[in-house]
Amino acid sequence: MTGAFVWIATWLIMIAVLVALAGTNWGKTIVYYVLWLAVVLLVVSHGSELASLVNVQALQLNG
């Protein structure tokens, strides 16, 4: 229970901070490029999985 509470609270705080920043003129730019940075980090950290999506040999039928 504590783990889930910390997890959800962390995400809520992070979202609230990002929304508050996005409300300002200068913060909107920062949030924009932070989101792009998150996209890049996600792609890099899951590169092998994403590469399998475009790998024809990785496709297989079940059963």
Partner 1 sequence: MARSTQMADIDQYIADAKQAAPAPVSLDTSAPTDAVNAPEIENAKTGEQASDATPVPEDEEQERASIREMRKAQLEADRQRTEESNAARKARQAVEVGSDAIATTREVVKQNALRVGNVVGAVPIPGDLLLPLSILLIFFFALIAVNGHTRLMWLWLTLTGNASLTTGAGASFATTPVVPTLGALPTPSLSSTLTPLTILPFAGAGEVT
Least distance from partner 1 to the Cβ atom of residue 35, Å:
4
Greatest CA separation for the chain: 55
**Judged by CB under 8 A, which stretch of 9-17, 24-32, 55-63 contacts partner 1?**
24-32
Q: What angle do CA 46, 50, 55 make, to 5 degrees?
A: 145
Answer whether 39's CB lies under 8 Å from 50's CB. no
Of the residues 15, 46, 55, 58, which one makes contact with partner 1 according to CB under 8 A: 46
**Judged by CB under 8 A, which stretch of 9-17, 19-27, 55-63 contacts partner 1?**
19-27
